[in-house]
Chains A and B, each alone.
Chain A
Amino acid sequence: MATKPRQPAPVPKRPVSITAVVDCVGALASRSMQGNLYLYDTNRAAGSTGLGTEELRTKVHRGDQLLWNVLALECEAYVGIAGIEIDPEFCEPERKVYPGTDVAYWTATVKKDSAEPVPYRISFLLGTRAEAVTTTLTPALIG
């Protein structure tokens, strides 16, 4: 009688991290994110496209945890995400901090699959400026 093959341990589900690399000086001098923003995610192997552009298309599935964080090109400059605007039926990003620090990240869980790409906008806080600057071109999540 053939023995049942041992089930492989389930592969842990990694959250999908979306990182925004921002040229702070460029964005402040032109008050626009266009030409000053590069978006990446960790899901290229699963089908994300547009890495390095402002029109990233991140491949996601229902139930995936998404994480947005931001990196400044000038290592001593401050940049933070002021908000993420996306259809709340799809996901609702909320702001959290790394425990014990005041460094923030935004996270959301994908509520449903979508046949169409779901576009979103990110607004950034740059330097000591109180007014946020919002993305010109549009990244999206694809199901």
Chain B
Amino acid sequence: MTQQLAIIVLVDVGNALASRTLDDNVYLFDNMKLHGSEGEGTGDLVTVLNGSYWNDGSQGTELVLNWLPYSLGSIPPTVPRGYQVQRARQSDQQALRELAELGSAPAGTGAGSAAELSRIRRNVGTPVSSTLRAGGPAGRKVLDVTGQIVTDAGASVHSVPAPIITDIVGEAVDQKIMYPAEYGSPDLVTDGWYWSATVDSSRPGTYSYTMDIQIHDLVERDGAWVWQPVNLSCESRIKVTSGPKRNGFTKAGMGPLPVAPVTFPL
């Protein structure tokens, strides 16, 4: 089958940071329920991969797996990835406009200006430096779950960045059933990087694998706010099967097209 397989890793980042484990805080899905995957939506997914082989033994189906990590309770991935930088820029522009207005206000409004300045400073929001491996630009700010700029990072609730898969290891990789690698992509849904793997279906069976996942906690360090990475891991399994390819028309070997000789009217 030419369908690519997608595995979604939905992480409850808030609870995972609180309990420092992904057990019970991660929910896995794939698009193979029709083919028999079990445990959809739980932490215990078994992804079924139906392979096939030709009569000379060569692999008949290209099996490609893609992993998509998402954060539960944050701004959804359908919101464009440039969003954070855009919002940061918008709020900076707004602040500059307000400062300009303040600057051109008539002299003598001293007390008012001080209050205004402090309001503008608050509304500019909290810049946060990023240790995200994807290299967050300096222009990022903390947003809350509705996309509004957060004015006081310590007191408000913020949207967390999506979790990042840093490695895929385990039995399936060691036994050379699965060949995962990280790829770059212009697709903004995946933030430019995603993990993908091809699968060798010549050895059917169930194999486990582990995903190393990095999530981020907003902490204050030396007076500045930083996304601190926290590394956790979770396990899943693939179940590989393989069946013989057969001709669609005859269900056996290849034959002539099932076209009856037809006499067409002259």
Q: Is B202 an interface residue (CB 8 A)?
A: no
**Residues in chain B near residue A73, CB distance under 8 A:** 6, 8, 29, 31
A119 within 8 A of B: no
Q: Which of A60-83 touch B at CB < 8 Å?
A: 67, 69-71, 73-76
B46 at the interface (CB under 8 A from A): no
Name which residue of chain B comes closest to A70, CB basis: B76
Q: Is the CB of A42 within 8 A of B78?
A: no
- From A17, A38, A101, A107, contact of B27 by CB (8 A): A38
The answer on a CB contact under 8 Å between A107 and B146 is yes
The reply to whether the CB of B62 lies closer than 8 angstroms to some CB of chain A is no
Among the stretches A18-26, A86-94, A109-117, A128-136, the one at the interface with B is A18-26
Most chain B beta-carbon neighbours within 10 Å: one of A51, A67, A99: A99
How many A-B contacts are there with CB distance less than 8 Å?
Answer: 102
Known: A14-B14, A21-B8, A71-B70. A38 touches B29 (CB 8 A): yes
Partner of B6, one of A13, A52, A67, A74: A74
Choose, from B126-134, B149-157, B175-183, the stretch at the interface.
B149-157
Binding site for A on B (CB under 8 A): 6, 8, 10, 12, 14-15, 18, 24, 27, 29, 31, 33-34, 40-42, 68, 70, 72-80, 83, 86-87, 90, 145-148, 154-157, 189-190
A residues apposed to B, CB below 8 Å: 9-10, 12-15, 17, 19, 21, 23, 25-26, 38, 40-42, 44-45, 51-53, 67, 69-71, 73-76, 96, 98-101, 103, 105, 107
Beyond contacts A45-B15, A53-B41, A71-B78: 13 other A-B pairs, Cβ-Cβ < 8 A, are A21-B41, A23-B33, A38-B27, A38-B29, A44-B24, A70-B76, A71-B8, A73-B6, A74-B31, A75-B190, A100-B83, A100-B86, A103-B76
